[in-house]
């Protein structure tokens, strides 16, 4: 087994772990939203969702670090903050934007899928702080505006999860000269 084959096998493993974790993360999040905030099951699901954010951060970091180590580390940091902070959606949005950019930069997934992630994440990066500041209405999950804002991200993450589980990631762009740069 060559080093290139070994790396490909490891990346396939990381991709599949990330794919299954995305699905689990989404199911846990949607289920906790439907149960309301006064349930012990909701608390457990919230904990599992936070743990999933950490697993996603590590697996996506391992897949993307070769294509921008500083950005991948920053994205991982945002996913860690997502897992421990009350306003986790904002940290999620920034981490997602960076990881999507690195997936695009490294050509690890189809460009159209990566661009969907970049655009959906950028939308959240802009809108979530405006909602927090009260400039835009609909900051709660009961608002249909909130669901419309999150729908592109949901479509992206479900599609990405299935792609990672079934196809994994490509070998990436060869001879990247930006591996240690932003």
> What would the pLDDT profile of 41-93 be if each residue is shown by its tens digit?
888 998 999 999 999 999 999 999 999 999 999 999 999 999 998 778 999 99
Q: What is the pLDDT of residue 175?
A: 43
Report the pLDDT averaged over residues 167-182.
64
CA pseudo-torsion sign 110, 167, 63, 11: negative
Judge whether 75 lies within some domain: yes
Asked, for residue 181, whether it belongs to a domain, the answer is no
Within a domain: 128: yes
Does 175 reside within a domain?
no
Q: Specify if 86 maps to a domain.
A: yes
Number of domains in the chain: 1
DSSP 126-169: HHHHHHHTTSSS--STTSHHHHHHHHHHHHHHHHHHHHHHHT--
| Per-residue model confidence as pLDDT tens digits over 23-38 | 999 999 889 888 877 7
- Whether the predicted pLDDT of 2 surpasses 70: no
173 part of a folded domain:
no
Q: What is the pLDDT of residue 79?
A: 96
Question: Is 182 within the bounds of a domain?
Answer: no
Q: How many CA atoms lie within 13 A of 7 on its CB side?
A: 10
- As a whole number of angstroms, the distance between CA 126 and CA 119 comes to 11
| Residue 35: domain span | 3-166
Model pLDDT for residues 103-152, shown as the tens digit of each residue = 999 999 999 999 999 999 999 999 988 888 878 766 665 667 778 889 99
pTM: predicted TM-score of the whole model, two decimal places: 0.87
Query: Is residue 23 in a domain?
Result: yes
């Amino acid at each position: 087994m060559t080093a290139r084959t070994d790396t490909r096998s490891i990346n396939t493993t990381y991709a599949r772990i990330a794919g299954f974790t995305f699905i689990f993360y989404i199911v846990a999040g949607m289920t906790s939203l439907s149960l309301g905030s006064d349930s012990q099951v909701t608390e457990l699901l919230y904990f599992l969702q936070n743990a999933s954010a950490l697993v996603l951060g590590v697996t996506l970091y391992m897949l993307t670090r070769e294509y921008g180590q500083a950005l991948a580390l920053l994205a991982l940091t945002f996913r860690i903050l997502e897992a421990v902070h009350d306003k986790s959606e904002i940290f999620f949005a920034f981490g997602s934007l960076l990881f999507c950019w690195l997936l695009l930069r490294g050509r690890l997934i189809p460009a159209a899928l990566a661009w969907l992630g970049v655009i959906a994440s950028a939308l959240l990066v802009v809108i979530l702080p405006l909602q927090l500041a009260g400039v835009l209405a609909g900051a709660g999950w009961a608002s249909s505006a909130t669901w419309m804002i999150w729908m592109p991200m949901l479509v992206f993450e479900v599609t990405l999860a299935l792609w990672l589980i079934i196809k994994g990631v490509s070998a990436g762009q060869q001879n990247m000269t930006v591996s240690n740069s932003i």
